[in-house]
Every structure is written in C-alpha cells, then in structure tokens.
Structure 1
Amino acid sequence: MSTRRWVALVAAASAIVLGGQWAVRQANEPAARQLPPTAASLTVAPEDTGAHYDRDAWGEWQYFDGGCDRRELLLRERGQNVVTGKACRVLAGTWVSPYDGVTVTATSGEFTPSELDVDHVVPLAEAERSGARTWTAEQRESYANDPAVLAVVTAKSNRSKGDQDVAHWLPAQGRCEYVRQWVEIKTRYHLTADQAEVNAIAAVLDHC
C-alpha cells in the first residue's frame, strides 16, 4: 500500500469526544452500523522487544492554518470556555481529564501548560513494539498527530501511565471507553497485541 493511500485511509476516521470520553466513528458511516470493537478484531503476536523507540523519529506537532499546532488545537477543541491569545497560546479554560475525572480550570493569565498533557492513547513506544517499526517517517508523524489517537488528560495521570499497555495500566475511570478506543486504534492502524493485552481487553469489555 502506498504512503499516500495509507495516510488517506487514516484520515477517513474521525474522533468525537463526548463528556470527556472517547468515541470513534468512520467518516460517512452511520453510527448505528458501527459494531463495538472487541479483542477478537486484533492480531495477536508477541511484542517486538527489539524495536528501538526514539521519540524524535515520530516528528513534531504539525501546524495548521492560523499557525496553531495540533496540541493547541486539541486544547481549544476539547475544553470549555477556552480563551486564546496571540500565536494560539491558550490563556484560560476548563478541561475534564477522562483518565481520572479531574477538572482543570484556569482563568485568564493563570493557565499552566504543564497541568495538562496531550496523550497518545496507544503510546508511541507501544505502537513501535506492536508493528510500527517498519513505518515511514510520514506514517509515524501522521499517527502522532491523529486526533483520534489523542486525549487531553492531567499530567499526573499521564505520568502514571507512561508507555504501558492495557495489561499493565488502566485509567481510574472510563475504562470501557479507554479500552474500546485502544482496540479501535490498534485495529485501524494494523497494530498487534500480545496475549496478556488481549486477555486484559476481554476482561474489561466483558463488564461494559
């Protein structure tokens, strides 16, 4: 498959954030026809422990019209009453972290960027271990900037997660939504899952 077609297929999926949680819907397909993701949709394979993870290999935040980068756009789109200044700088707003339910509110001039992280739901290092070793630089950067892969969360919850998969870390709340998002991402990007990961996914979804 060509890089151009690969990127086009990825762009066809859009992420919709509802109540601080995640839902993914294929473009132009009615939601009612979407079946919930299951562990059975994943390809099971051992992790590629020989894959060397280098954050620099995944590119930087992409810039868009208006000079805003992906992180700034997500902070604007996924917050409430967001105020921005020059160069898309976020000055104020309210965000609810789907990982822990913590509400971060800042009035104008008090916003501290370090309070919030834009997290890759399936971490870049995990993607590397799950089949992305052979991706091109363009494919890696496209993944790293895909809104459907990203969540605005508290820095504390993101630090506790690190690059762990769902067999080793789950959020304090919204676990069903998190695991469904995990499976959707891995399925759409043709990433594999190891057996412990698949078992953990099935255990969560069985109670959703």
Structure 2
Amino acid sequence: MAHPDPHTAGPRQGPHPHDAAKPHAAAGPRRGQRVRGARLLLLVGGCVSVLLGTLLARPVGASPPGIPDPETARAELAELATAPEGSMAGYARERFPHWITTDGCTTRQWVLRRDGEGVEVDEDCRPTSGTWHSPYDGATLDAPSEVDIDHVVPLAESWRSGAAGWTEDRRRSFANDLENPQLIAVSAAANRSKGDQDPADWQPVEESYHCTYAAMWIDVKYEWGLTVDEEERAALQDMLGACGPAGGDSGISES
C-alpha cells in the first residue's frame, strides 16, 4: 500500500512540540527550510565543515545528536500518522546512496570518530584503532572492522513508511543523516540481529537502552515525516515506559 509523502504537501503548520527542548530543531528536515538545509548540508562544503566540526567537538564516546527527552518523544509519537506498512516493491539499498564522502571522510568514518573512544585515523580518514561500546547489546569492540553503523530506522523500514515516494536526493540525505539520531555505531551481531525490523519485532537486548532507542526511533520518523503501523506504535509506547518519571531521571542514555 502506498503511503502519502507528508512533505509533498508543504511543511507542518503550527508549533513544533519540542522547539523549546531541541535548540537545533529549526535546521532539521521536518520543515521546508529543514529539507533544503539537509540537502545543502550534503552539497555545500562550507556547511558540511561546520556540522562535522561540531561532531568532532563532541566528547568521545558520545551518543547520536538530537535525542529528545521522553516527554518530547511522546509528543512526537502522538503526531506520527498511523498507516499499514507499504510494499517493498521497487526497494533496493542502492536507492539510498551511502556512504557519501564529505571533507575527506565517509559518513561511516565520521560516526566511528564520533562514537568511539581514543579513535586514531590514517591519512585517508580510515580509523585504525579505538574502542566502541555497542549500546544495543553491551559489547565492547576494539577493532573498526567489528563495528557496524546502524540506521536506527532501517532503510527498508523507511521505504515501507513513506520513503518509496521520495526523490533520490532525499533518500541520500536520510541514509547519511548526521544531524538527527539516525546513525549509531553498534556491534555487527546486534545490527544483523535487528535487520530491517521495527520495534514491534526487535528491541535491543540491553533493556536499559529501550527508552533511548524508542526516543531515537520516534524522533527520526517525526523529523522525516514517516508513518508508523499500529503494532509499532504500541511497542514504542511500551518502550517509553522504561523512561524515568517526569521531573526525575529521564532514562535517556548519554553514551
């Protein structure tokens, strides 16, 4: 079943539910300006340099950017359109070009540098050493070859949730999104266990990460205007139950 692309009808009207909580919100892909900004980010070297400089300024072992607090995640989930998953007809990973190279490093290499500790790279930006913690399963990885970069919302899942109607430029931006919590370094075992499943069928074995994972998933779908199915929505609501009480510990992992 085909899904309508919310972005063909123009930007969302009215206030964003987490404008106050997420200072960078005005630069993301949710509004018309944010869509244009995401494309320019990939095409204009100066803009890319600013973003990548920000990534490298983050503490080592940092988590993906833009993870909303539980209250914001619940507000975003409430605004997501519910629809049955669409067909996989026409899908291929090649329709989401990745990893692109910006400022001499591929998107994968930027995430490895952001999420690792003590990461050293060669003259071609290839990480040669470092340590990575896989939050999905608690594994500690000491070699770059052991690390996968997971699309929090899998490419195939996005296709079934609205991306089938996107342009290739938009799919490229989605597959290389460094601005939102869409890319994360994890163990190969965890990534392959997940595959293209949504939270109704797969959740991290580390239950302490359920709150963070749900918040990331919801935020990515919100920012990119993707739909959720009924079982997926119910699973996300349950996972948000792992978050701390309002006014207390949020349950969101910082790394």
What range describes the TM-score normalised by the shorter chain of this pair? 0.7 to 0.9
Matched AA of 1:119 = D
Equivalent residue for 1:152, pick from 185, 200, 212: 185
Tell me: CA distance 1:130–1:17, structure 2 relative to 1, closer, same or farther (3 Å): farther
Larger strand percent: 1
Distance 2:136 2:67 in 1: 21
> Matched residue of 2:131: which SS?
strand
> Matched residue of 1:43: which SS?
coil
Assess if the C-alpha contact under 8 Å between 2:73 and 2:218 holds in 1: yes
Distance 1:151 1:18 in 2: 13
Equivalent residue for 2:199, pick from 146, 151, 166: 166
Aligned Cα root-mean-square deviation (Å): 2.9
Is 83-92 or 185-194 further displaced after alignment? Answer: 83-92
Residue aligning to 1:8: 37
Is 36-45 or 2-11 further displaced after alignment? Answer: 2-11
Assess if the C-alpha contact under 8 Å between 1:84 and 1:90 holds in 2: yes
Structure 1: any 5+ residue segments left out of the alignment? 106-110
Does residue 54 in structure 1 map to residue 73 in structure 2? Answer: no
Assess if the C-alpha contact under 8 Å between 2:99 and 2:108 holds in 1: yes
Assess if the C-alpha contact under 8 Å between 2:153 and 2:217 holds in 1: yes
Residue aligning to 2:151: 120
Structure 2: any 5+ residue segments left out of the alignment? 1-9, 12-28, 42-50, 244-255
Tell me: CA distance 1:25–1:207, structure 2 relative to 1, closer, same or farther (3 Å): closer
1:109-152: CA deviation from partner (whole Å, max 9, x where unpaired): xx351x11001000000000001111001000000000221010
Task: Count residues in correspondence.
Answer: 195
Tell me: CA distance 1:43–1:76, structure 2 relative to 1, closer, same or farther (3 Å): same
How do residues 26-105 of structure 1 correspond to structure 2 at under 5 angstroms?
Answer: 35-38=71-74, 39-65=77-103, 67-105=104-142
Residue aligning to 1:108: none
Distance 1:137 1:17 in 2: 33
Deviation at 1:203, TM superposition (A): 1.2
> Matched residue of 1:117: which SS?
strand
Residue aligning to 1:143: 174
Amino-acid identity (%): 39
Compute the TM-score of the two structures, normalised by the length of structure 1.
0.83
Residue aligning to 2:66: 24
Matched AA of 2:37 = A
Tell me: CA distance 1:175–1:102, structure 2 relative to 1, closer, same or farther (3 Å): same
